[in-house]
Amino acid sequence: MIEVEHITKVYKVAKREAGLYNAVKALFSRKQDTVKALNDISFNIDDGEILAYIGPNGAGKSTTIKILCGILTPDKGNCIVDGYVPWKGRKSYVKNIGVVFGQRSQLWWDIPIIDS
């Protein structure tokens, strides 16, 4: 069972300004913007349930999966996967899961998706 409760993840992104002067200036002091990748996400998935997690680019799909795998920790909220908190005791947790991250560029276009 997967239980996700009020997960929030915020990234700090360097603000880039045009021009050589601003590029040199940024070496010594950078301005940062914050980007909310996930904003209060909650859901439950029961054992044996099959679902698709879809959305547009930048919707937070990969960030959510990385939190469920224990690769990232959320800024707020909690999740439990089969009794484990993924980012705590990660070594024992990852023995029980499998995840494949892929890009469209890694697919072979001349054969069916299932074979690539």
Question: H helices within the chain, ranges in order?
Answer: 20-26, 61-69, 90-94
The number of folded domains in the chain is 1
Q: What is the pLDDT of residues 54-93, one digit of tens each?
A: 999 889 999 999 999 999 999 999 999 999 999 998 888 8
Mean pLDDT of the chain: 87
Q: What percent of the chain has pLDDT over 90?
A: 47
Number of separate helices (H) and strands (E) present in the chain: 3, 3
Q: What percent of the chain has pLDDT over 70?
A: 90
Higher per-residue confidence, 73 vs 22: 73
Q: What is the pLDDT of residues 36-54, one digit of tens each?
A: 999 999 999 999 999 898 9
Report pTM: 0.76
Q: What is the CATH number of the domain that holds 88?
A: 3.40.50.300
Give the range of the structural domain holding residue 95, as residue numbers without chain letter. Answer: 2-115
What CA–CA distance (Å, rounded) separates 72 from 2?
16
